[in-house]
Structure 1
Amino acid sequence: MSSLCENSDFEKSISEELIPKKVRFRGRDVDTNNNMMINSSPEKPISWKDMLVGQSSKYTFNGLEGKDDLDILDGDIQKSFVNGLPSISISNRIHKILIQGMENTVTLKLLCRNIGFFVLQNKLYNLWRPSAALHMMDIENGYFLVKFQNKLDYENALSEGPWIIFGQYLTVQPWTLAFDPTQAYSSVVMAWIRFPGLPGYLYNHKIITEIGETPLVSHILINGRKQNVEYESLSIICFYCGR
């Protein structure tokens, strides 16, 4: 009897496995009872090209995502070997197209703190309230690229700061060809500066501008009077090198 029960349970388990089931992928029910082609041949090795262009559109950024509108003409791409290394030369025409696709793009970096892609994305939407969706890409050293679809949104992000996230400054700079993500810090940071105890009659736009153009120091002299300088949300400043 025990062997019959065991066989019965075994057959039951097999029959249950054969019953079509539904599985859920990100909130959608998908019927697994579909006919599927099974390829028993070994998979081909993934090429570098497949790794670069065969992934999600998150990694395409210059306005060409989802479209194959970059026409490569004869001579636009030159491939060769230099001292045994593969060499690729891109024509000026293609360079101009790609650079034009980076219009309305800024570089971001949160000072003194790492931040995840989606956390930053949510923070930016709350801070900037853009009129159209943002396109983001994370790159080296905690830098991010953000492309705006609206010119006014782009200008507001650059001019309406400084922006502070989690008590740290978010550096926002226009993207240029000179941008180097291997540098640990941005060359320019927009920050709030306070002059505690500054006499009220000195609060003139031109006078404050002249005071603000002094080197990065903790104190300055105004008509021989020592004036403290405070930099908000900049936790570490080297007044010797100005960083």
Structure 2
Amino acid sequence: MEGKSPGVFLQNYRMTKRNRTTVDCDAEPERPTPTLPNPVMEVEPTQVPAVSAGTVSFRDKLLNKADTLRNVGIAINCLEDNYKELNDEEDVTISRGDRGPCIQFSERAMSRLCKPWENALIIKLLGRSHTYNYLHARLQQKWGLKGGWKLVDLMHDYFVVKFDLEEDLNFVLTGGLWIIAGQYLVMQHWRPGFCPATAQTTRMAAWVRVSAIQLECFDVWALKRIGNLLGRLLKIDALTTSQNRGKFARLCVELDLTKPLEAFIQINQTWYNIEYEGLPEICFLCGRYGHKRENCEMNKKENCEMNAREKLIWVEKGRLQRMALELR
């Protein structure tokens, strides 16, 4: 130590690298970890909840699929109290026909069966069909009704909408024109005995465009007369009445699909083109809705008549040639 200070002798601790073969004598010995008794614990087996056959998966709930496994039906005896005014002797007639058993209900029974469907509409989309869930979601989004309603799917792309409130039925029936995915929603009151296989759409409301008419005719008085020439005028587009758009006059007209649709209209000795929105299948040969020109029966008839005339001309030419040869 430098100087005369007695100083302090410091113990030289050196850090040793511990490994399996080197033992540090200066290090504090490791205290053994006390060994605790290891009692045997009785663990009850975890019971896995059994998945019932009728459990609905998240996917099925999302797709709004019916749980057919859980749908075991209802007892029919509990429903007899709702039909006390009916009896089998007076309201049911059973017989046997050529093709199988027959049953006929009385007028009183039919009135009772039709009563729940008084506030119902029959609807159909013109054009390609859509799934039940897609149509239900779009209708719920567009209508926004006050009461409840139910959508029932039928054959041939027909649906029945059953309303809880008559107010909602009147709103849907008169508040449209309803267009879904660019297609018109045709509707009519529900009627007993409706058969989708034989039903035909005879009337519908559609938006019609009369292109490039005179600007002075963009008047409610004139547009009403023009629209009634094409059908029965229901509405006039707001942009048309305000004269903010002058390329065409847009009118909502009830069309009779059993009659030919007009393709042109003359206003003050000038012809104007007519366009029907949302009606892709219009035949401009016969003027009817439901098929194209190339599939029109009138077109086929004209082709047959043309072929017959050509055949007659060919036969007549052959006859004249034979007569010329005989004269020689």
TM-score normalized by the length of structure 2: 0.53
SS at match of 1:101: helix
Distance 2:206 2:193 in 1: 22
Aligned residue number for residue 155 of structure 1: 170
Distance 1:188 1:155 in 2: 18
Deviation per residue, 1:196-238 (Å, 9 max, x gap): 2122433325313423329512212223210111111111112
Q: 2:49 aligns with which of 3, 21, 29?
A: 21
Change (3 A) 1:177 1:198: farther
Change (3 A) 1:19 1:177: closer
Distance 2:109 2:163 in 1: 22
Runs of 4+ in structure 1 displaced over 6 angstroms?
A: none
Aligned residue number for residue 9 of structure 1: none
Q: Residue 229 in 1 paired to residue 274 in 2?
A: yes
Aligned residue number for residue 126 of structure 2: 111
Aligned residue number for residue 63 of structure 1: none
Change (3 A) 1:185 1:167: farther
Q: Which has the higher contact order (CA 8 A, sep 6+)?
A: 1
Work out the percentage of aligned pairs sharing the same amino acid. 29
Task: Kindly indicate whether the alpha-carbon contact (under 8 Å) linking 2:146 and 2:168 is maintained by their aligned counterparts in 1.
Answer: yes
| AA matched with 2:272 | Q
SS at match of 2:282: coil
Task: Kindly indicate whether the alpha-carbon contact (under 8 Å) linking 2:123 and 2:186 is maintained by their aligned counterparts in 1.
Answer: yes
Deviation per residue, 1:115-148 (Å, 9 max, x gap): 1112111111111111112122111100000011
Q: Residue 219 in 1 paired to residue 259 in 2?
A: no
| AA matched with 1:210 | N
Long gaps (5+) in structure 1: 1-15, 29-52, 57-65
Distance 1:81 1:169 in 2: 44
Task: Kindly indicate whether the alpha-carbon contact (under 8 Å) linking 1:218 and 1:230 is maintained by their aligned counterparts in 2.
Answer: yes
Aligned residue number for residue 109 of structure 2: 94
| AA matched with 2:147 | A
Matches within 5 A, 1:1-243: 19-23=47-51, 25-26=55-56, 69-71=82-84, 72-73=86-87, 74-83=89-98, 85-177=100-192, 179-183=194-198, 185-202=200-217, 203-205=219-221, 206-213=224-231, 216-239=261-284, 240-243=286-289
Distance 1:151 1:176 in 2: 16
Larger deviation, residues 180-189 vs 84-93: 180-189
Larger deviation, residues 139-148 vs 211-220: 211-220
SS at match of 2:142: helix
Deviation per residue, 1:150-187 (Å, 9 max, x gap): 11211111112221111111112211237431147522
Shift of 1:91: 0.6
Aligned residue number for residue 47 of structure 1: none
Task: Kindly indicate whether the alpha-carbon contact (under 8 Å) linking 2:263 and 2:274 is maintained by their aligned counterparts in 1.
Answer: yes
Larger deviation, residues 19-28 vs 223-232: 19-28
Long gaps (5+) in structure 2: 1-44, 59-70, 232-254, 290-328
TM-score normalized by the length of structure 1: 0.69
- Count residues in correspondence: 195
Shift of 1:78: 1.5
Shift of 1:27: 7.1
Distance 2:171 2:161 in 1: 13
Distance 2:190 2:122 in 1: 6
SS at match of 2:161: strand
Distance 1:185 1:84 in 2: 27
Structure with the greater alpha carbon radius of gyration: 2
